[in-house]
Structure formats: C-alpha cells, structure tokens
RNA sequence: GGAAGGGUGGCCGAGUGGCUUAAGGCGCACGCCUGGAAAGCGUGUUUGCGUUAAUAGCGUAACGGGGGUUCGAAUCCCCCCCCUUCCGCCA
C-alpha cells in the first residue's frame, strides 16, 4: 500500500511508476479525494476544538454553581453537535474511500529494473550448469511418472478433478525428500529459521500480504471464512504483523515447507497436463524481514540461497530479472529462476524472489525502532521460493531420466531417499 | 457447541462520567554517582492525522471496531470482532 503523502509530494513520479507497469495515471484522482478529506478534517477539527473548550468551561461553571451560565453554554455546544457528528462520519467515509482506492494500486518498480511490457522484455542475468544430452528423445515428466507407475492423474481427477496428482512409493518419498533437503539446506547453511505456521488465514492477514482484496479469485476459501495460503509467504510474512521490532533483531530469516493452494482462475488451458500447474503443491519458502537499507543486499543473498538448491541438485538454470511490466502486484524488483526441462525443451520458472519494500509492511503495520532512537519506520519484506517442490520433482524426472525409463536420484538427495540411487518401475 | 471472564502507550498494569494532560511499574535513552560497573538518584520516553521548511510549535484523534446516551465517555447502553478459561466433542 502506498503512502498518500508520498504521492502528494511527487505525483509525477507516482504516475511515471504506474506507466512503467502499463497502467494509467492515478495521482490526480487519488489526490482529489485526499484534498477533499483534508479540507474536511480542518473544518471538523476547528469545531471539535471549540466544543472541547466549551465543555471544559461548562465543567468549571457548574462546579462554581452558576446554573444559568452553564445552560447558556450547553445551548451553544448543541449547535456544534450535528456538524461534528456528521463530520466524523464523513471523515470515516473519505478515509475508507481513499484506502479502498490505494489498496488496489500495485507497488512501483525500483530504480534500475528493466523497463518493458511483458515477459519478452525480461533480462537474463546469468545461466548455470550444463543441459544434459540424451541419446534418445527425452520424455516429459508425466510420461516418465506414469510409466513408472508412481504418478496418477486419472485417480486424482476422480477424487478432486483437474489439476491434482497422486504420487506413490518412490515419488511420494521424493516429494518429501526434496522438502526436507531444502529446509535443511536453508536452516543449516543459510541461516533461516524453520517455521511451522497456519495454512488457513483470516482476511486481515491476506490483506497484509496484498493477496486481498485484488486476488480473491485466485484463492480458495473455507466455509469458516479462512483463506488457504497460496504460498507460505502469506503465513511467514504475517508473523511480524502489528509488531514493533528492534533494529538489532533484523534481518529476520524464516523458511517453511508447506502445501500451497491456488485456484488458478486465470490459467484455464495453460499447462493442463502434468504437475507444472496444480491446485495443490508443496513449496519451501524463504522470507526475510529487513531494514530498508538491508533489503537490496538481502535480495541478492536470498537469490543465491535459492540457486544453491539447484546447484546441489546439479540442475541447469538461468536467472532473469523481471521487467517493469511483468512483475507481481506487490513487488518492486523480482528475480525468477528458471530450470531447464529437457522434456519440454524449455526453461520453466521454479523460483521467484521479490523485494516488496514497505508495501506489505504498511498493510500489516510492521515496524521497527531504529537504533538511533528516532521514530518508528516500516520494515521491508522479501520472499522467494527455495524452491517449488513439485516443479523441482518435474525437473529431476526430466533431467535425470535414463534410456531404460528409470530415473537416477541426484546424489544430494540420496541420504533422504534411504540411500537409493534410482527410481524404477513399480 | 455450552458457560464465564477479558481486550488500556514497546511490555505489564491501574482506572465506573469532568484536575486522566491515561496513575504506577518494567524496558529504553541521557545525566549524576563510580577507578570502571552494578545498585541508587534525577530527567526524558505512544502513535496517527492536519498545519508547517521542520522528527520545532500548535491543533485534533486514538483505551479492540462501529453505533448510542451526555455539554463532556477508557468509564454508561447496544451490535460486532478477537482472545483466554472451564465444560462437551476430538487428531
């Protein structure tokens, strides 16, 4: 959420930022409500000041026993009452109006983010690893998994419909092994603290991380009114909501291995086969809470932590920085890591690491006391996948497939797979 | 699901209609004291909004949220949200 004062101070910069995202200028409309509100507040406060003064006087006069004078003063205050009552109501409405308008405005891109319209304008930062070569036509993950007899979309459809999967035996174990491997890496080597947190959140928390009100249709809601998390970012980031942190506590680094639930409302027809796009999938998430000064360095660090997972699994990838037009709603700068999928002969997103500035912190009211003793400041929040477990499994199946249909287990995972070296047909 | 008790500055906690300008304590900051520290003593220490060059000053609001009573509400009344405890059910 934006600070209306920042917009007031520099409306041109605000509109410029929106245009980089391909959106029309909005400062004029917002500032119109803002100035209406401020004019209104001025009048209201004058009336309140007068009422307060008169009321105080009434108290004194009554103590002195001058009833007649007290009655005269009461009559005077009565004239202000209606104005104040309706004025308070109007102020509330105007505040709500401007907040509602601000709540659906996306974050603005950081300086230096490549300008562009859509994913074609994203910029590659670097690549890592060798794409594997095959002396046969590499198959896609769903063909491999189904042939192994360990991946079942048909039965999943009977239970739950499209975009669900059932994994069995070695593949079910691989899913769990990947989660453990990633969490262990981030906690033992990257300084993140493992967290277990709710998968169901209430409205306020979803608003805090900017999933609401705009992306309601991408979420699942329970009969209790809770929202199923589309990412552990939602739970982890909210751990600091409504808190006043000490500067020395920052940065806070958290990780969690959780299921994620997404309605995929806008993705009809996209990636309909296989495990790439599911209503339910697992992910190991990284979240950092920092000071504004720490955020940029933390972002690079987080990216490196996510990349390390792929390096240890020896999976080729490339890293790109998203252009202004392709970034998510709350992001000021986003790196995507795309893993090489031989079966598709394409790079596919496996992680997205974003810094959101104070965008979520404002919505959550998450602040810290600076060490220099000055007034509270909003924290900065960052999040990244480290990594999407389902898609990592896809990458392993496709990159480590053998001509006999089996799949070699990456060495780094073998300790988590009971020492097994291969996944073979059931 | 049933019953009861609660929600007050960073934290704990007092406060049933006007000297509450939210007591007191903790924590924190600075000073005194000390060889240095602790203890002790003293001073200071909420946030939002408006105005402003200003984190100065002034004004205003805020005691979970909203509405009501009143000249005046943390305090009285109504509705809602949330938390805790006990009982029931239960992995």
Cβ of A88 near strand B (distance < 7 A): yes
Provide the CA A375 to C1' B33 distance, Å, integer.
31
Q: What is the CATH number of the domain that holds A86?
A: 1.10.287.40
Strand A252-261 to A166-167 pairing = unpaired
Cβ of A6 near strand B (distance < 7 A): no
Cβ of A67 near strand B (distance < 7 A): no
Provide the CA A232 to C1' B86 distance, Å, integer.
35
Q: For chain A, first and last CA: distance in Å?
A: 52
Q: What are phi and psi of A44, to 5 degrees?
A: -60, -45
Q: What is the DSSP string of A193-205?
A: EE----SEE-HHH
One domain, residues A91 and A125:
no
Scanning every strand, the nucleotide with its C1' closest to A52's CA turns out to be B72
Q: What is the model's pTM?
A: 0.92
One domain, residues A201 and A54:
no
Number of domains in chain A: 2
pLDDT of residue A44: 81
Q: What is the DSSP string of A47-94?
A: HHHHHHHHHHHHHHHHHHT-HHHHHHHHHHHHHHHHHHHHHHHHHHHH
A114 assigned to some structural domain: no
CA A331 – CA A388 distance, rounded (Å): 19
Report, as residue numbers or ranges, the catalytic residues of A. 262, 277, 349, 352, 391
pLDDT of residue A93: 80
Task: Kindly state the DSSP code that residue A30 receives in the 8-state scheme.
Answer: H
Q: Look at the block and give the residue holding tokens 């009977």.
A: A158
Cβ of A245 near strand B (distance < 7 A): no
Rg (CA), chain A: 27
One domain, residues A95 and A150:
no
From the C1' of B51, which residue's alpha carbon is nearest?
A42
Cβ of A52 near strand B (distance < 7 A): yes
Domain boundary among A76, A103, A130: A103
A355 assigned to some structural domain: yes
Instruction: Please work out, in degrees rounded to the nearest 5, the angle formed at the alpha carbon of residue A318 by the alpha carbons of A317 and A320.
Output: 150
pLDDT of residue A230: 96
Question: pLDDT in tens for each of the 426 residues of chain A?
Answer: 888 888 888 899 999 999 999 999 999 999 988 888 888 888 888 888 788 777 777 777 776 667 777 777 787 777 777 777 777 778 878 888 888 888 899 999 999 999 999 999 999 999 999 999 999 999 999 999 999 999 999 999 999 999 999 999 999 999 999 999 999 999 999 999 999 999 999 998 999 999 988 999 999 998 888 999 999 999 999 999 888 888 888 899 999 999 999 998 888 888 989 999 999 999 999 999 999 999 999 999 999 999 999 999 999 999 999 999 999 999 999 999 999 999 999 999 999 999 999 999 999 888 888 877 677 888 999 999 999 999 999 999 999 999 999 999 999 999 999 999 999 997
Closest CA to A139 of A273, A267, A272: A273
Provide the CA A23 to C1' B43 distance, Å, integer.
54
One domain, residues A79 and A225:
no
One domain, residues A307 and A414:
yes
Domain boundary among A34, A68, A103: A103
One domain, residues A281 and A389:
yes
pLDDT of residue A60: 72
One domain, residues A171 and A99:
no
One domain, residues A32 and A147:
no
One domain, residues A215 and A79:
no
Domain boundary among A75, A103, A131: A103
A112 assigned to some structural domain: no
A109 assigned to some structural domain: no
A400 assigned to some structural domain: yes
Q: What is the CATH number of the domain that holds A167?
A: 3.30.930.10
The residue range of the domain holding A377 is 119-423
One domain, residues A162 and A84:
no
One domain, residues A207 and A346:
yes
pLDDT of residue A262: 95
pLDDT of residue A388: 97
One domain, residues A84 and A134:
no
């Amino acid at each position: 959420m934006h600070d209306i004062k920042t917009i007031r101070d520099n409306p041109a910069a605000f509109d410029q930022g929106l245009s980089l995202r391909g959106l029309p200028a909005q400062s004029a409309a917002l500032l119109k409500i803002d100035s209406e509100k401020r004019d209104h507040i001025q009048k209201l406060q004058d009336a309140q000041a007068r009422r307060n003064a008169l009321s105080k006087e009434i108290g004194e006069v009554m103590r002195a026993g001058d009833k007649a004078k007290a009655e005269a003063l009461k009559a005077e205050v009565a004239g202000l009452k209606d104005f104040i009552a309706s004025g308070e109501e109007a102020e509330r409405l105007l505040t709500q109006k401007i907040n509602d308008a601000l709540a659906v405005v996306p974050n603005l891109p950081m300086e230096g983010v490549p300008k562009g319209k859509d994913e074609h304008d994203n910029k590659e930062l670097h690549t890592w690893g060798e794409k594997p070569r095959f002396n046969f036509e590499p198959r896609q993950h769903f063909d491999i998994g189904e042939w192994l007899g360990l991946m079942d979309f048909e039965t999943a459809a009977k239970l739950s419909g499209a975009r669900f999967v059932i994994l069995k035996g070695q593949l079910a174990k691989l899913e769990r092994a990947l989660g453990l491997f990633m969490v262990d890496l981030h906690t033992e080597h990257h300084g993140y603290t493992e967290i277990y947190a709710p998968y169901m959140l209430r409205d306020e928390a979803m608003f805090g991380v900017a999933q609401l009100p705009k992306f309601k249709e991408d979420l699942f809601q329970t009969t209790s009114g809770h929202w199923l998390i589309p990412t552990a970012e939602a739970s982890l980031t909210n751990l600091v909501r409504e808190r006043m942190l000490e500067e020395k506590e920052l940065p806070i680094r958290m990780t969690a291995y959780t299921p994620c639930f997404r309605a995929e409302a806008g993705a009809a027809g996209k990636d309909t086969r296989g495990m790439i796009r599911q209503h339910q999938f697992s992910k190991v998430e990284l979240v950092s809470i920092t000071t504004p000064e720490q955020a940029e360095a933390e972002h690079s660090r987080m990216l490196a932590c996510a990349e390390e997972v792929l390096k240890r699994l020896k999976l080729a990838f490339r890293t790109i920085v998203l252009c202004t037009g392709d970034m998510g709603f709350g992001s000021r700068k986003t790196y995507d890591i795309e893993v090489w999928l031989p079966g598709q002969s394409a790079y596919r997103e496996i992680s997205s690491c974003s810094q959101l500035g104070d965008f979520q912190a404002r919505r959550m009211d998450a602040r810290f006391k600076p060490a220099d003793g000055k007034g509270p400041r909003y924290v900065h929040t960052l999040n990244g996948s480290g990594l999407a477990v389902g898609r990592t499994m896809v990458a392993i199946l496709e990159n480590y497939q053998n001509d006999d249909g089996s799949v070699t287990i990456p060495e780094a995972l073998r300790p988590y797979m009971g020492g097994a070296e291969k996944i073979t047909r059931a």
